[in-house]
Amino acid sequence: MFDLAILQSRFGDQITESTFRDNHRIVVPAHSLYPILECLKTEQGFDALMELTAVDYLEYEGATDRYGVVYVLLNTVNSERLIVKTMINPPQLELPSVYPLWKSADWLEREVYDMFGIVFPGHPDLRRILMPEEFTAFPLRKDYPLKGIGERHNFPVITRAES
């Protein structure tokens, strides 16, 4: 069971809790993210990481931080869900990898890296996963336009003679 008091006594009271519809959420500071998630997994029973994603708040009204990284945790015994969110800002786009806690973070962190350029030190194999290896931009950032920045029409055409 989730217990906010334990987390606050151990990791400081910068942790804020909120509820929207049936979503139960906490926002934690980035520097204590890993110990908090470890505590949630080992002591409070959140044994599965269902979802890991990021949001770019560049154009969001009233936002003060650039990126939010969201972890949806699940307790498979009593079906309790908890959404843990942490905010990070450039140039320090780094968060500790949670792969040692949940193996499902493997590809999910690779996708966040691929789409947002957030690096997860400690990940065993942090490569691009959906975009090609030679791609340089991070397409789900809000400053990346829908039509791309010329990857399609500047793509080198290989003629039959060259191939």
Closest CA to 119 of 91, 152, 150, 156: 91
Q: Between 4-11 and 33-42, two packed helices, what is the crossing angle to 10 degrees? A: 140
- Which of 36, 40, 72, 88: binder of other proteins (CB under 8 A)? 72
The region of 2-10, 58-66, 88-96, 151-159 touching other proteins under the rule CB under 8 A is 58-66
Asked whether position 39 contacts other proteins by CB under 8 A, the answer is no
Structure tokens at 21: 């519809």
CA 20 → CA 23, 25, 83, 100, distances in Å? 5, 8, 11, 30
d(CA 158, CA 135): 18
For residues 15 and 80, which CB has a smaller minimum distance to other proteins in the complex? 80
For residues 12 and 148, which CB has a smaller minimum distance to other proteins in the complex? 148
Half-sphere exposure of 99 (CA within 13 A, CB side): 16
For residues 111 and 113, which CB has a smaller minimum distance to other proteins in the complex? 111
Asked whether position 132 contacts other proteins by CB under 8 A, the answer is yes
Interaction pattern, residues 138-157, with other proteins; x per rule: CB under 8 A:
-xx-----x-----------
Closest CA to 69 of 38, 111, 102, 132: 111
In the complex, which residues of this chain contact other proteins (CB under 8 A)?
20-23, 25, 47-51, 53, 55-56, 59-62, 70, 72, 76, 79, 81, 83, 102-104, 106-108, 111, 115, 128-132, 139-140, 146
